[in-house]
């Protein structure tokens, strides 16, 4: 396991699901953490769990707010660097999905999806890169298997993740001379709280959620859904020195699901 002691990792969307799992993963490796989320109670709970992994509570800073707000984004970066005097890793994890037919998607839903899934990683990267250049740090974007493979009923989500993948590779080329690496982790279906919350897959209809998740597990060669820990391990690898020669990569963490698409 990599050692991130003394390194500063900023994780967006850290109050649940993949973000929570990623925060705990880095906490176990001794990282100093900056965590963003929109729900203070959940974010504080994640911070508490991270401190229980053995890192001092003073090595964890939470930022509660909306990443689509420019002032909040700027303050998050500035306060993180002011607190820890450096930034080593940016994990662009925050995202959302509205299910439904593409032609039935409202303009506000389209805008919210593209803003959080693509525009926010772009703008957070802009703010973070000057600090990452100083540490020769890196960015890990959290995309999706469905950025590379079409899926009905989530069309705009798929488009946003496809755009994020291309951004990852373009930025990797631009930042390589500065020794800043940029990669993407693209999970398959992972059972997280995104299933069952407002604005999320299937809108919390338990029977439909259960059926959907069973279908996804059965379609996966390894025969199960992914876990936040599965994805966090891949993120940790790409952010670590073990991946010092890896940039511009789209790493599928999908239990072999991508191999089943024609």
CATH number of the domain bearing residue 237: 3.40.50.720
pLDDT-derived band at 109 (thresholds 50, 70, 90) equals: very high
**pLDDT confidence of residue 208:** 75
Instruction: Report the distance separating Cα 5 and Cα 10, nearest Å.
Output: 14
In a domain, 20, yes or no: yes
In a domain, 216, yes or no: no
In a domain, 123, yes or no: yes
> Considering its fold, how many domains does the chain have in total?
1
Backbone angles phi, psi at 23, to 5 degrees: -60, -45
User: Is-contact 55 47, C-beta < 8 A?
Assistant: no
In a domain, 208, yes or no: no
Task: Tell me which of 148 and 191 has the higher pLDDT.
Answer: 148
Task: Read off the pLDDT of each residue in 190-196 and give the average, rounded to a whole number.
Answer: 69
Task: List CB contacts of 67: < 8 A, sequence separation 6 or more.
Answer: 12, 13, 36, 73, 76, 94, 116, 120, 124
Task: Read off the pLDDT of each residue in 43-57 and give the average, rounded to a whole number.
Answer: 96
Active site residues: 157
Size (the chain), residues: 262
In a domain, 97, yes or no: yes
User: Is-contact 185 233, C-beta < 8 A?
Assistant: no
Beta strand spans in 82-199 (E): 89-92, 138-142, 181-187
Instruction: Report the distance separating Cα 191 and Cα 41, nearest Å.
Output: 21
Instruction: Report the distance separating Cα 110 and Cα 113, nearest Å.
Output: 5
**pLDDT confidence of residue 3:** 83
In a domain, 63, yes or no: yes
Containing domain of residue 45, as a range?
8-192+227-253
- What pTM value is reported for the model? 0.94
Model confidence at 10: pLDDT above 90: yes
Instruction: Report the distance separating Cα 241 and Cα 89, nearest Å.
Output: 12
In a domain, 25, yes or no: yes
In a domain, 260, yes or no: no
Task: Tell me which of 77 and 216 has the higher pLDDT.
Answer: 77
């Amino acid at each position: 396991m990599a050692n991130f002691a003394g390194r500063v990792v900023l994780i967006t969307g850290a109050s649940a699901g993949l973000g929570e799992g990623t925060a705990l993963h880095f906490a176990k490796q001794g990282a100093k953490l900056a965590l963003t989320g929109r729900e203070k109670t959940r974010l504080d709970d994640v911070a508490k769990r991270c401190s229980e992994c053995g890192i001092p509570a003073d090595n964890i800073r939470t930022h509660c707010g909306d990443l689509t707000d420019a002032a909040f984004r700027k303050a998050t970066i500035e306060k993180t660097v002011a607190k820890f005097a450096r930034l080593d890793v940016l994990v662009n994890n925050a995202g959302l999905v509205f299910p439904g037919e593409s032609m039935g998607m409202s303009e506000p839903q389209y805008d919210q999806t593209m803003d959080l899934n693509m525009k926010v990683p772009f703008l957070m990267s802009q703010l973070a890169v000057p600090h990452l250049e100083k540490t020769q740090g890196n960015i890990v974007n959290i995309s999706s298997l469905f950025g590379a493979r079409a899926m009905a009923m989530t069309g705009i989500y798929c488009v946003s993740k496809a755009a994020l993948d291309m951004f990852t590779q373009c930025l990797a080329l631009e930042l390589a001379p500065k020794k800043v690496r940029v990669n993407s982790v693209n999970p398959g279906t992972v059972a997280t709280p995104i299933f069952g919350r407002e604005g999320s897959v299937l809108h919390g209809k338990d029977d439909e959620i259960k059926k959907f998740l069973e279908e996804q597990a059965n379609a996966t060669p390894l025969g199960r859904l992914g876990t936040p820990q599965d994805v966090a391990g891949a993120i940790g690898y790409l952010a670590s020195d073990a991946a010092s020669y890896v940039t511009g990569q789209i790493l599928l963490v999908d239990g072999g699901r991508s191999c089943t698409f024609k």
